[in-house]
Amino acid sequence: MKIYLSAPLFTQVERRWNRMLAAALEEHIRGAEVLLPQDFKFCDSFNRPEDFTKIFRACRDSLEEADLVVAVLDGPDVDSGTAFEVGHAYARDIPIIGIRTDFRGSQDRGLNVMLAQSCTELVRAMSFNEDLEQLVRDLTGKIAAALRRIEKSKPNR
């Protein structure tokens, strides 16, 4: 199973947390491969302006190959790239499991209503509880529930 991890990736802290989450998901879900857009690079660089089109295509293609998207939806306003990826996944009927660890409130379960309603499942884990293992267990359960629901909705062949 390919899981696309959509998350902010601009600081050392964000990138490190993304790697820890990806490794924990691969450890807890047999056969899972977590795709990390932060690792997409061209010509030994992650952010050369002349590679932006390649980076966009690599992200889009990986997203479209994914069986499922895990989206980190933290912040007073969700990261714009993550918001785009959630919308793209939703339009392509790719299940989306949202993670919200930010305790700030908003319209719907702490999120903009468009993002909240796009998620197949949503894990809320307040930031004051820094137990990554518990978050991964909760997330793994939501992934399993989403996959069961998808299998039930498929027409019998």
Determine the angle formed by the axes of helices 52-65 and 80-91, rounding to 10 degrees: 40
The predicted structure's pLDDT at residue 48: 83
Would you list the domain boundaries of the chain?
Answer: 2-153
Residues 6 or more apart whose Cβ sits within 8 Å of residue 43: 51
What is the tens place of the pLDDT at every residue in 9-49? Answer: 999 999 999 999 999 999 999 999 999 999 988 877 777 88
The predicted structure's pLDDT at residue 76: 85
The predicted structure's pLDDT at residue 156: 62
Residues 6 or more apart whose Cβ sits within 8 Å of residue 88: 60, 63
Task: Provide the residue type at 18 as one letter.
Answer: N
CATH among 3.40.50.20, 3.40.50.450, 3.30.1120.130, 3.40.50.1970 for 2-153: 3.40.50.450
The predicted structure's pLDDT at residue 145: 87
Residues of the chain by 3-state class (helix, strand, coil), percent to 5: 50, 15, 35
The predicted structure's pLDDT at residue 95: 95
The predicted structure's pLDDT at residue 71: 98
User: How far apart (Å, rounded) are the C-alpha atoms in residues 72 and 18?
Assistant: 9
The predicted structure's pLDDT at residue 82: 97
The predicted structure's pLDDT at residue 127: 67
User: How far apart (Å, rounded) are the C-alpha atoms in residues 109 and 114?
Assistant: 11
Q: Which residues of the chain have pLDDT under 50?
A: 157
Alpha carbon 34 to its chain's center: 10
